[in-house]
Chain A
Amino acid sequence: MISALLLNIIVLCAIAALAAIVLYCVSQKFMVEKSPLEEAIFETLPHANCGACGKAGCQAFAEACNQADTEAFAQLFCPVGGNEVMAKIAKLKGMNSTQKARTCAVLRCQGTCQNAPDKMAYTGLKSCRVANLVMAGRGGCPNGCLRFGDCIAVCKFGALSLNPETGIPRIDYQKCTSCGACVKRCPRGLFEIRPIIDGEQVYVACRNQQKGAIARKNCSAACIACGKCSKVTPLVTIDNNLSYISSDIVPQEYGQKLADECPVKAIIYRTHM
């Protein structure tokens, strides 16, 4: 009895040892050489693997940072980690870091349930990308928010949530990392990554390119391209019946004035962000 037990134990141990040796040999043979610097850079990254930097993931970004010369390094930026992480990487590499202004995603639409009430009853898969193929939108605006929240599903940082009152997504500016996933996902291209200058931001929250009268029929907050804002500063341009504020604008200087001028309240001026 004892001997049988012993034999079992010995056989099992032998199999385990053999497997361990095989595993060790294989791992040695297929080991990928990684420079310690690349490892160190990878450790400092936020590990969101969002691809916002334009690389396939954090590992790829670390590799690119490691291989970059001064010039190429200036082009690299991790929007999730921001200046802080880039400064750390620069220190590891002994170079100067790129410093970028704080940014966040903004939703350029105010087609809420109140401003653009439902005109069509949609039934089926609750997805903006599908609804976009069969209708102009529940509110009737062919450029506006479809209010099914595809962007919310794609946000990895929990910065987007559907506001039950308005029906459109709202953005948590503290959580938004400007990764750009929502920009890519929205079939109507309603998101834009815009700089926050001294905690302030000003932008046109509308993408409707129809003539004013038609746009107003569907949405009370639609830009009617009246041109009042463009008289304030040349940084505001009007194209295709739609006003656009350049991201070079200084919100402290013009923000309040632009917001006051807009008769339909399509311009949003945000402070203390």
Chain B
Amino acid sequence: MKTKTFAIGGIHVDKHKISSQSAIQELALPEMVYIPVKQHIGAPAKIVVKVGDRVKVGTLLAEADGVLSASVYASVSGQVMKIEEVNSGQGYLETVITVKREGDEFEESMDLSDEIVREIPDNKEELLKIIRSAGIVGMGGAGFPTPVKTNIPEGKSVDTLIINGIECEPYLTADSRLMEEKAEQIVIGTRILNKILGIQHAIIAIDENKPQAIARLQEITKRYVGVNVQSCKSIYPQGGEKQLINTITGREVPSGKLPLDAHCVVQNVATVYAIYEAVQKRIPLFRRVLTLSGNADLTPSNYLVRIGTPISFILHENQVNMDNVGKVIAGGPMMGQAIAALEAPVTKTTSGITVLSAETADKPETSACIRCGKCVDACPMGLMPLNIRAAVEENDIAILKSLHVQDCILCGSCSYVCPAKIPLLDYCKIGKYELGRQQKAK
């Protein structure tokens, strides 16, 4: 199979996939879970339980409020203790529903057996409804409600469904493990999406450094006509939506437009697995697979975790040596968010927890720009980060606009490669902020 890649930029990062051989294990259950009502892009879900209510695993806690929203389910059985605003990992307040665990009881409607259900319901509307009610959102990190993404509006057409099995973030292996262990379920989930979109074909894109996952899925897809596996060059940010579309189809998403405008729908493998569970097994989204890894003193693992589990609990279960921890990141080290409060819960979009040791937690000291142009070569969007930096320092909005700063996908390649260690991405962020603010003012 020919390995494909995207046309512009890209960088080679140190992979550190130290947890790739550890099988997914179910994490012990915490005493308390904290379930945020907003784990997605859009309106917070409307709370439907009261303090004191008894809930089971899979009981609806908060219902989607409008189209751009997603329902939230209880991930443990027990009693609703509090509904309050608490500090999130970054210190901002968010509304969470606290459930105290008692035992582990499931809603009866769920099918928890390991048996693979292959027969797919035929009704497109019915399928969309199940996905909507299961509260599924893009689990790769963006958190965009999946039903909105798969429901094609009038006047748009889709000819390519891409399943994103690329995990270009260093350290993270959750998706790769999922593809190895739940290969057929993912293919069935892909078939469900095929049905909803009304197209016959789908491409599962996997990066070339996961030969086991590629082999496993190739074997399975022999039995599913129309679903193909595509090996992609292991280069960052191959898993970016815009880059992956370019890799697979050679097309580009027009500036400021959505993948739909390139006639593509891209879904992450974890999302596809959640779709399989929701449609075939009637299991709403109450758990996810995540990687715990990093260069701190820990055991690299892949866990099946209940949503709402505090990150501190996961670290404790793994017996992470907390003395040498400098930074805890929700997500991978390239695009993840550093968190200050470890009580912050795992959400639908937490694909991993990266723990960095104290020595590597600080940003490196910067020196003068030597105009090497490495950031220009690295940028997968073809931007010129060093010029953006100069424009930000001059606060010249017109130049920022001409430099297309709003097209930045925040992948951080520029900051990563810079030999002077200038935080170029930070300047791009300021540029986007200033440009956005000025456009809002108009």
Residues of chain A touching chain B, judged by Cβ–Cβ distance below 8 Å, are 119-121, 123-125, 127, 129-130, 133-137, 140, 142, 154, 187, 210-211, 214
Overall SS of chain A's interface: loop
Could you show 28 A-B contacts with beta carbons less than 8 Å apart? A120-B340, A121-B340, A124-B363, A124-B423, A124-B426, A125-B363, A125-B423, A125-B426, A125-B427, A127-B426, A127-B430, A129-B429, A129-B433, A129-B434, A130-B423, A130-B429, A130-B430, A133-B429, A133-B433, A134-B90, A134-B338, A136-B91, A137-B91, A140-B87, A140-B91, A142-B91, A210-B85, A214-B93
Given contacts A135-B340, A154-B395, 15 further A-B contacts (CB under 8 A): A119-B340, A123-B363, A125-B363, A127-B426, A129-B429, A129-B433, A133-B429, A133-B433, A134-B90, A136-B91, A142-B93, A187-B433, A210-B85, A210-B93, A214-B93
In the bound complex, residues from chain B placing their C-beta under 8 Å from that of A125 are 363, 423, 426-427
Report yes or no: B430 in contact with A136, Cβ–Cβ below 8 A. no
Interface residues on B, range: 20 to 34
Which chain B residue has the least Cβ–Cβ distance from A121? B340
In the bound complex, residues from chain A placing their C-beta under 8 Å from that of B363 are 123-125
Question: A-facing mask of B75-93, CB < 8 A → 1, else 0?
Answer: 0000000000101001111
Whole-angstrom distance between the alpha carbons of A154 and B395 in the complex? 9
Report yes or no: B90 in contact with A136, Cβ–Cβ below 8 A. yes
Whole-angstrom distance between the alpha carbons of A133 and B91 in the complex? 11
In the bound complex, residues from chain A placing their C-beta under 8 Å from that of B423 are 124-125, 130
Whole-angstrom distance between the alpha carbons of A121 and B362 in the complex? 10
Report yes or no: B85 in contact with A214, Cβ–Cβ below 8 A. yes
Q: How far is the CB of B81 from chain A (nearest CB, A)?
A: 18
Top 7 A-B pairs ranked by shortest CB distance? A136-B91, A125-B426, A120-B340, A130-B426, A124-B363, A125-B423, A135-B90
Which chain B residue has the least Cβ–Cβ distance from A120? B340
- CB under 8 Å from chain A, chain B span 314-353: 337-338, 340
Taking each of A125, A187, A211, A214, which has the highest tally of chain B beta carbons within 10 Å of its own beta carbon? A125
Which chain A residue has the least Cβ–Cβ distance from B434? A129
In the bound complex, residues from chain B placing their C-beta under 8 Å from that of A187 are 433
Q: How far is the CB of A218 from chain B (nearest CB, A)?
A: 9
In the bound complex, residues from chain A placing their C-beta under 8 Å from that of B117 are none
Q: How far is the CB of A207 from chain B (nearest CB, A)?
A: 15
In the bound complex, residues from chain A placing their C-beta under 8 Å from that of B426 are 124-125, 127, 130
Report yes or no: B430 in contact with A119, Cβ–Cβ below 8 A. no
Which chain B residue has the least Cβ–Cβ distance from A131? B426
Residues of chain B touching chain A, judged by Cβ–Cβ distance below 8 Å, are 85, 87, 90-93, 337-338, 340, 361-363, 395, 423, 426-427, 429-430, 433-434
In the bound complex, residues from chain B placing their C-beta under 8 Å from that of A130 are 423, 426, 429-430
In the bound complex, residues from chain B placing their C-beta under 8 Å from that of A121 are 340
In the bound complex, residues from chain A placing their C-beta under 8 Å from that of B362 are 123
Which chain A residue has the least Cβ–Cβ distance from B340? A120
Which chain A residue has the least Cβ–Cβ distance from B430? A129
In the bound complex, residues from chain A placing their C-beta under 8 Å from that of B91 are 119-120, 135-137, 140, 142
In the bound complex, residues from chain B placing their C-beta under 8 Å from that of A136 are 87, 90-92
Whole-angstrom distance between the alpha carbons of A22 and B429 in the complex? 47
Which chain A residue has the least Cβ–Cβ distance from B84? A214
Taking each of B363, B395, B430, which has the highest tally of chain A beta carbons within 10 Å of its own beta carbon? B430
Taking each of A121, A134, A140, which has the highest tally of chain B beta carbons within 10 Å of its own beta carbon? A134
Q: How far is the CB of B438 from chain A (nearest CB, A)?
A: 10
Which chain B residue has the least Cβ–Cβ distance from A154? B395
Report yes or no: A123 in contact with B361, Cβ–Cβ below 8 A. yes
Whole-angstrom distance between the alpha carbons of A27 and B91 in the complex? 60
Which chain A residue has the least Cβ–Cβ distance from B89? A135
Whole-angstrom distance between the alpha carbons of A140 and B427 in the complex? 24
Which chain A residue has the least Cβ–Cβ distance from B88? A136
Q: How far is the CB of A217 from chain B (nearest CB, A)?
A: 9
Whole-angstrom distance between the alpha carbons of A124 and B424 in the complex? 11
Taking each of B337, B423, B426, which has the highest tally of chain A beta carbons within 10 Å of its own beta carbon? B426
Whole-angstrom distance between the alpha carbons of A127 and B429 in the complex? 11
Which chain B residue has the least Cβ–Cβ distance from A124? B363
Whole-angstrom distance between the alpha carbons of A130 and B338 in the complex? 13
In the bound complex, residues from chain A placing their C-beta under 8 Å from that of B87 are 136, 140
Which chain B residue has the least Cβ–Cβ distance from A185? B395
Report yes or no: A142 in contact with B92, Cβ–Cβ below 8 A. yes
Whole-angstrom distance between the alpha carbons of A135 and B90 in the complex? 4
In the bound complex, residues from chain B placing their C-beta under 8 Å from that of A142 are 91-93
Report yes or no: B337 in contact with A134, Cβ–Cβ below 8 A. yes
Whole-angstrom distance between the alpha carbons of A130 and B423 in the complex? 10
Which chain B residue has the least Cβ–Cβ distance from A138? B91
Which chain A residue has the least Cβ–Cβ distance from B427? A125
Q: How far is the CB of B427 from chain A (nearest CB, A)?
A: 8
Whole-angstrom distance between the alpha carbons of A133 and B362 in the complex? 18
In the bound complex, residues from chain B placing their C-beta under 8 Å from that of A137 are 91
Whole-angstrom distance between the alpha carbons of A136 and B92 in the complex? 5
In the bound complex, residues from chain A placing their C-beta under 8 Å from that of B90 are 134-136
In the bound complex, residues from chain B placing their C-beta under 8 Å from that of A124 are 363, 423, 426
Whole-angstrom distance between the alpha carbons of A8 and B90 in the complex? 74
In the bound complex, residues from chain A placing their C-beta under 8 Å from that of B338 are 134
Q: How far is the CB of A132 from chain B (nearest CB, A)?
A: 8
In the bound complex, residues from chain B placing their C-beta under 8 Å from that of A119 are 91, 340
In the bound complex, residues from chain A placing their C-beta under 8 Å from that of B395 are 154
Whole-angstrom distance between the alpha carbons of A133 and B410 in the complex? 12
Whole-angstrom distance between the alpha carbons of A140 and B86 in the complex? 12
Q: How far is the CB of B99 from chain A (nearest CB, A)?
A: 22
In the bound complex, residues from chain B placing their C-beta under 8 Å from that of A123 are 361-363
In the bound complex, residues from chain B placing their C-beta under 8 Å from that of A211 are 85
Whole-angstrom distance between the alpha carbons of A256 and B353 in the complex? 53
In the bound complex, residues from chain A placing their C-beta under 8 Å from that of B434 are 129
In the bound complex, residues from chain B placing their C-beta under 8 Å from that of A133 are 429, 433
Taking each of B85, B91, B92, B434, which has the highest tally of chain A beta carbons within 10 Å of its own beta carbon? B91
Q: How far is the CB of B399 from chain A (nearest CB, A)?
A: 15
In the bound complex, residues from chain B placing their C-beta under 8 Å from that of A129 are 429-430, 433-434
Q: How far is the CB of B312 from chain A (nearest CB, A)?
A: 16
Q: How far is the CB of A130 from chain B (nearest CB, A)?
A: 5
In the bound complex, residues from chain B placing their C-beta under 8 Å from that of A127 are 426, 430
